[in-house]
């Protein structure tokens, strides 16, 4: 068995361990953490240069923080470092199985739509499929509608914003997983109460700006392909309501691969071969996000030690809508400058934890920052991918999405403050 295949099996074992831990805490989360670290160490040679730089910085910050704490006789939180992001990573690995049964494929010989209808079908298609199978939906659609390997401005804007707006609400996104990890106790229905209206505003703003382009060539929408992911999302919510003591990341880790493999064995002529291929080939492809989240756990442990040395210094006395707005502005600004949202979430989640903030308000702050920052920053993963795949200029993403980002920041601030004043007070 080669190195990457071994990492895939370790990640599969981590999913199983996360589910068992969710159902019965007799199995410690440390087991899941060890399995994800094992996979990360096997894949560390394959990470991209950009991710390698970020990981080295995170590890260095964490190591310095841990060393600083030890000098001042503060014992590091080794459990945080080892397994703080274990459920998150298991959930991301589990969600990848949805690609086995959900693809936005066109029918044989089907003509691509154009005009206003094409704008909406492409926007809704990339948003809904992206909410389930993540970045691969952008490339499936982008490759189909591109001309000579290039996308025009309207196509790029629709694919980028449609995809990143799914971060506002999708339980299958890394944004949600990170927010639920660093804002423990957050309620998915309350997050949806804020996130879904923001996603609808993002889609409407984008569509209104592009629908007058009669030359726009888009992608056909087939809603029936979203039936199974829709059933999965409903099951996640119902099971979370039935067993509120089960962590929602563990619930997703249970249901996503379970439903995907069940459907695969009913539909596919060679289900075992396809499932094995996914484990040994597709799962190891998450090496960048895997190692980034592992490094973020090290940084969080280091920052936790530093904050303890400084006697629990906090930037705020409370965490209300005003403070959430300031955090949102800070995170979006630093994201545009190139700071990965994971870094901000891990650092600020650790820093603000002693305030005992409302978990749903904090989680939505993180989620909105992720959705807006990744959509506008020229350094975000999706925009770097668009630059490399479709010959986009590095400054185009900020130039084309700057106004959109500003509007969404203002709307997010409004929603966060409305939640604070109407729900919390």
Classify 73 as helix, strand or coil: coil
The tens digit of pLDDT for each residue in 305-340 reads: 888 887 767 889 999 999 999 999 999 999 999 888
Name beta bridge partners: 114. Answer: 217
| pTM reported for the whole predicted model | 0.86
Using a 10 angstrom Cβ sphere, with 0-12 exposed, 13-18 middle and 19 or more buried, the burial of residue 92 is: buried
Tens-digit pLDDT profile for residues 359-386: 999 999 999 999 999 999 988 888 888 8
- Asked if 100 and 262 touch (Cβ cutoff 8 Å), the reply is no
Q: Specify the residue for token string 């629908």.
A: 211
Q: Model confidence over 148-199: pLDDT tens digits? A: 778 888 899 999 999 999 999 999 888 999 999 999 999 999 999 999 999 9
Report the C-alpha gap between 396 and 329 in whole angstroms: 22
- Closest by alpha carbon to 126, among 55, 58, 225? 225
User: What is the pLDDT at residue 105?
Assistant: 59
- Distance CA(126)–CA(166), nearest Å, equals 9
- The per-residue pLDDT for 425 is 75
Q: Is 151 left (phi over 0), alpha (psi -120 to 50) or beta?
A: beta
Q: What are the tens digits of pLDDT across the range 77-122?
A: 888 888 888 988 999 899 889 888 876 655 555 677 777 888 888 9
**pLDDT of 25:** 81
Helices (DSSP H) in 24-71: which residue ranges? 29-43, 49-71
């Amino acid at each position: 068995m080669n190195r990457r295949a071994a990492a895939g099996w370790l990640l599969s074992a981590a999913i199983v361990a996360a589910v068992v831990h969710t159902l019965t805490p007799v199995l410690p989360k440390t087991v899941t953490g060890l399995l994800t670290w094992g996979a990360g160490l096997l894949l560390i040679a394959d990470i991209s240069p950009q991710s390698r730089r970020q990981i080295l910085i995170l590890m260095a910050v964490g190591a310095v923080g841990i060393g600083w704490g030890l000098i001042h006789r503060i014992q590091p939180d080794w459990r945080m470092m080892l397994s703080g992001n274990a459920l998150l990573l298991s959930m991301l690995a589990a969600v990848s199985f949805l690609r086995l049964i959900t693809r936005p494929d066109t029918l044989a010989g089907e003509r691509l739509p154009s005009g206003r209808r094409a704008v909406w079908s492409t926007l809704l298609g990339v948003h809904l499929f992206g909410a389930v199978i993540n970045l691969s939906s952008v490339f499936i659609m982008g490759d189909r509608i591109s001309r000579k390997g290039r996308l025009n401005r309207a196509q790029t804007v629709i694919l980028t914003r449609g995809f990143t707006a799914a971060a506002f609400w999708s339980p299958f996104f890394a944004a949600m997983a990170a927010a639920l990890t660093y804002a423990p106790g957050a309620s998915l229905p309350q997050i949806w109460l804020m996130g879904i209206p923001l996603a609808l505003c993002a889609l409407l703003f984008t569509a209104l700006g592009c629908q007058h382009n009669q030359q726009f060539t888009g992608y056909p929408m087939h809603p029936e392909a979203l039936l199974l992911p829709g059933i999965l999302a409903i099951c996640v919510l119902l099971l979370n309501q039935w067993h509120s003591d089960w962590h929602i990341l563990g619930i997703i880790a249970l249901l996503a691969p379970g439903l995907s493999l069940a459907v695969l064995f009913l539909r596919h002529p060679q289900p075992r071969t396809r499932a094995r291929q996914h484990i040994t080939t597709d799962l190891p492809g998450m090496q960048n996000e895997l190692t980034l989240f592992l490094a973020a756990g090290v940084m969080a442990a280091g920052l936790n030690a530093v904050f303890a040395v400084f006697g629990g210094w906090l930037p705020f006395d409370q965490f209300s809508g005003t403070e959430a707005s300031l955090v949102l502005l800070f995170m979006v600004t630093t994201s545009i400058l190139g700071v990965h949202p994971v870094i901000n979430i891990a650092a600020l989640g650790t820093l603000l934890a002693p305030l005992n903030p409302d978990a749903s308000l904090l989680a939505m702050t993180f989620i909105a920052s992720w959705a807006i920052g990744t959509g506008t920053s020229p350094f975000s993963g999706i925009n770097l991918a668009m630059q490399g795949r479709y010959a986009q200029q590095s400054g185009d993403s900020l130039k084309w999405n700057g106004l959109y980002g500003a509007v969404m920041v203002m709307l997010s601030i409004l929603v966060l403050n409305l939640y604070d004043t109407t729900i919390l007070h």
